[in-house]
Amino acid sequence: MTFTKKSANTVPITDTVFKVVLKAREDKKKNGDAVIDATLGALFDEDGKFVTLKTVFRHYDEISPEVKGAYAADFTGNPGYREEVYRWVSGPADLSLAHSVIASPGGSGSVSSCFDAFLDPGETIILPEIGWVSYQLMAMQYHLKVRNYELFENDKFAINSLKEAVRDVMKTQDRVVLVLNDPCHNPTGYSLSYEEWQELVLFLNEVSEQVPVILVDDIAYIDYSYNLQNSRNYMSCFNAFTDNVMAVIAFSCSKSLTSYGLRCGASIVLAQKEEDVREAEIVLEKTARSIWSNIPNAAMENFAWVVTEAKEPYLEEKEKYINLLKQRSDIFLAEAKACALPIYPYKEGFFITVIVDDNKRVERIHEELMRRHIYTVTVNKGIRVAICSLPIRKVTGLAKKIKEVLDTTE
């Protein structure tokens, strides 16, 4: 007999990150600064301090308890927040599509509610084979099957693998839902070029002559793009969508505002027809109301304030950290090249991933690295190095250390 429902998945979550984080913490108590901890997916400064942007939290701290304690104005989010999110995310792309913004608890809430809104249990969702582990869990929770696509072919986006996945799913399903985590893909740091996006949109349009297509674009790390000004340009490709394609952009304040714990994000629904957007909005609003009800009022108010009243100082402060990420990644990439450490094609973002095709070997390399006081995170077909949490002095020399382990581990 069990108390949970028959279809519940009762296998405990194996959180590959937090287990290693604890190990690293223990090691630091014994070996101090000799430990290299590249596990955490949050920004840390050069002194190893967790980064919280002053331009974000100074104002947040001034918000009155009445505002902090109050319910949001609407289950879909506060009107000002919804407007500013739309402007912030898509503004520079100049979209001509019908749109709606539904507030969500972080990017997680957005992505997860899309899995639920667009597919029935037993249907298949298309996911990247190397990606954020939560996608798999979300699929499981909604009883969805998963079809993976490969990410790279000759260091470019493997559009052919994605096409194959879509065509396979279309054989048995009357709709297609696919997830892209772009730009600044977790964990490889890849971003599609404008041309790659154009090709993808052309393909989705072609497919949409037969079935409706829903593209979920997870942009959790977009505000750390190295070419920030042009980071939204690719969205203008969406203007060419046929009536049968919808995009939902999953936005998160977690990284953009260094406010991971404030649980604030949004789904930006885009399509040609107003009525299709409205239908998705209704369904997503019901998910909101039935699961999390509303999003923290002060978190939404603060976002709207930061991106209007404090936009320039906020961008300036954040830019310092983008530059820091760039310095760290430049060092790692140059050293990886010099010692022939194989890495996935990194362009920007919080993580760099070392290529290891065999997952059993991934485990062995990961263990050996820990024996040498280097803490990383295992991912499918690779070892993730979180340069976001590693000071320059520890990034320096790291590629060679990892290469030595690769060379000596079967």
By the criterion CB under 6 A, which residues form the site for ligand PLP? 41, 106-108, 132, 181, 186, 218, 220, 252, 254, 260, 265
Pick 179 or 405: Cβ nearer ligand PLP:
179
How far is the C-alpha of 294 from the C-alpha of 75, rounded, in Å? 5
End-to-end CA distance of the chain: 45
Q: Which residues does 137 contact at the CB level (< 8 Å), separation at least 6? A: 13
Pick 108 or 389: Cβ nearer ligand PLP:
108
Residue identified by tokens 């690779």 is: 382
Pick 272 or 329: Cβ nearer ligand PLP:
329
Pick 264 or 304: Cβ nearer ligand PLP:
264
CB of 246 to ligand PLP, least distance (A): 19
Residue nearest ligand PLP (C-beta atom): 106
Give alpha helix (H) positions in 208-351: 253-256, 274-291, 297-306, 311-338
CB of 342 to ligand PLP, least distance (A): 22
Pick 86 or 351: Cβ nearer ligand PLP:
351
Pick 207 or 226: Cβ nearer ligand PLP:
226
CB of 263 to ligand PLP, least distance (A): 7
Q: How many CA atoms lie within 13 A of 410 on its CB side?
A: 0
CB of 135 to ligand PLP, least distance (A): 8
With beta carbons less than 8 A apart as the criterion, state whether 349 and 328 touch. Answer: no
CB of 348 to ligand PLP, least distance (A): 14
State the amino acid at position 279 in one-letter form.
E
Q: Which residues does 209 contact at the CB level (< 8 Å), separation at least 6? A: 242, 244
How far is the C-alpha of 247 from the C-alpha of 280, rounded, in Å? 11
Q: Which residues does 64 contact at the CB level (< 8 Å), separation at least 6? A: none
Q: Which residues does 356 contact at the CB level (< 8 Å), separation at least 6? A: 362, 365, 381, 382, 383, 406
How far is the C-alpha of 51 from the C-alpha of 53, rounded, in Å? 6
CB of 108 to ligand PLP, least distance (A): 3
Pick 252 or 329: Cβ nearer ligand PLP:
252
CB of 16 to ligand PLP, least distance (A): 13
